[in-house]
Amino acid sequence: MKFSTSALALVASLALAEQGEQYTDNGRYSLAGIDQSLYQWPQSDYVYHMAAQRDNRNIAMRTDGRNLYFGDARDINGSPLREVNVFIDIAGDLNIAGPDASARYVGVDNGRLALSTRRNNNINIQRFGDNRVSWRYNDQQQFQACPVDQYGNAYDISDNQRSSDHLHQVYAGRAPCSKPVTVSLNGARQNGLARYQDSQLRIANNQQFRDSRIVQNDGRLMLVDNRSHGNLNQFQGQLSYRGQLVDNQGRFIQLGNQASMRFTDRNQVRNGLTGFSYRDNRLTYQNQGFIACQVQNGMWELRPTAVEAAAASCVNPQYVEISMEPLN
């Protein structure tokens, strides 16, 4: 039986849309088998685009690489301002996402929000599901801000001037102007791929495979019947921030013949397939599900439906959704 990849994609997208939000993250991760000289493991989870919220208005946050601002301006002290995107690393520190790797942590310097080279700052976040975060400083959500001129000097504005017309610098402590504005700092999710908790894979939607396991066998990611193949090792691993699926021995998934999902040798990160993601408790590849192709009695090869060759020579194909769940 052969069928089109587009038909598979339609079924997959409809099925995924029906699932509820069940994301969990307790910060656990494993370095077993990972050569960190080859691969920075791991780094981040979701990336959030930051804005200051005041009077039910969201105003984009910006940075010159030193301090944090919001409002309309292109530069300060001759340094261009760029919008602020952040992620939370495995140590719980808030990081600015971008090319500058030196001062990337968000911290407090003399009361002002500033970028730092040091970890262990008092800035943290509160999550609202996967999609939104709110910054906290010493467990307080409110921050203060002052208008600043093109040289970064704080000044006061009169009551009849609109504060939204001015660039503001953000402070975590007492602001230096006489009439600071109060804001909350909120982030909307832009993207994200990782699941650092040691996890197992399970078929979530197909009753035929309800008692089956996803294992590594003959170098491939496969689905097996527990009753027939109980001696095979169940897959245990994580999803990296690059969108690569890796087991707890440092072996990455890559595409093999006819879109089979094969394992690399240990630490072959450059050969690892990117494009996996995790959301709503489902593992996907290019936002689509997988098909299981029977290779022998009680054993099925898993292939991503987003790959054109997935349906080729697929015996008794079954569409499956894969749940990524923490190890017990």
* Cα 168 to Cα 146: distance, rounded to the nearest angstrom: 5
* Cα 251 to Cα 309: distance, rounded to the nearest angstrom: 23
- Which pLDDT does position 8 carry in this prediction? 35
* Cα 5 to Cα 309: distance, rounded to the nearest angstrom: 8
- Which pLDDT does position 167 carry in this prediction? 92
Residues 17 and 77 in one domain: no
Residues 273 and 304 in one domain: yes
Q: Is 284 exposed, middle or buried (0-12, 13-18, 19+ CB in 10 A)?
A: buried
- Which pLDDT does position 296 carry in this prediction? 87
Q: Would residue 182 be called left, alpha or beta, if left means φ above 0 and alpha means ψ between -120 and 50 degrees?
A: beta
* Cα 283 to Cα 306: distance, rounded to the nearest angstrom: 13
Residues 11 and 56 in one domain: no
Reported as type and span, the H/E element at residue 12 is helix 5-17
| Domain coverage including residue 78 | 46-192
Tokens in use for 179?
């009439």
Last residue of one domain, picked from the residues 139, 163, 192: 192
Pairing of strands 75-76, 132-137: unpaired
What's the sign of the alpha-carbon dihedral 159, 162, 166, 172? positive
Residues 273 and 312 in one domain: yes
Residues 149 and 208 in one domain: no
Tokens in use for 161?
């001037």
Tokens in use for 84?
């602020």
Can you give the length of the chain in residues? Answer: 328
Q: Which residues pair with 145 in a beta bridge?
A: 170, 181
* Cα 202 to Cα 212: distance, rounded to the nearest angstrom: 8
- Which pLDDT does position 196 carry in this prediction? 62
Residues 88 and 139 in one domain: yes
Last residue of one domain, picked from the residues 161, 192, 223: 192
Q: Which residues pair with 245 in a beta bridge?
A: 239
Residues 150 and 239 in one domain: no
Residues 59 and 37 in one domain: no
Tokens in use for 328?
């017990």
Q: Is residue 41 a contact partner of residue 34, using CB atoms and an 8 Å limit?
A: yes
Q: Is residue 73 a contact partner of residue 167, using CB atoms and an 8 Å limit?
A: yes
Residue 221: CB atoms within 10 A of its CB come to 23
- Which pLDDT does position 43 carry in this prediction? 45
- Which pLDDT does position 194 carry in this prediction? 63
Give whole-number Cα distances, 242 to 1, 44, 79, 129, in Å.
Answer: 34, 9, 31, 21
Last residue of one domain, picked from the residues 137, 164, 192: 192
- Domains of the chain: total: 2
Tokens in use for 275?
């494009």
Residues 301 and 185 in one domain: no
Q: Is residue 266 a contact partner of residue 277, using CB atoms and an 8 Å limit?
A: no
Residues 212 and 181 in one domain: no
Residues 187 and 261 in one domain: no
pTM here is 0.56
* Helix, strand, coil fractions of the chain, as percent rounded to 5: 10, 45, 45
DSSP letter at 34 equals -
Residues 212 and 292 in one domain: yes
- Which pLDDT does position 324 carry in this prediction? 87
- Which pLDDT does position 56 carry in this prediction? 82
CATH number of the structural domain spanning residue 183: 2.80.10
- Which segments in the chain show pLDDT lower than 70? 1-45, 90-91, 98-101, 130, 158-164, 191-197, 226-230, 241, 328
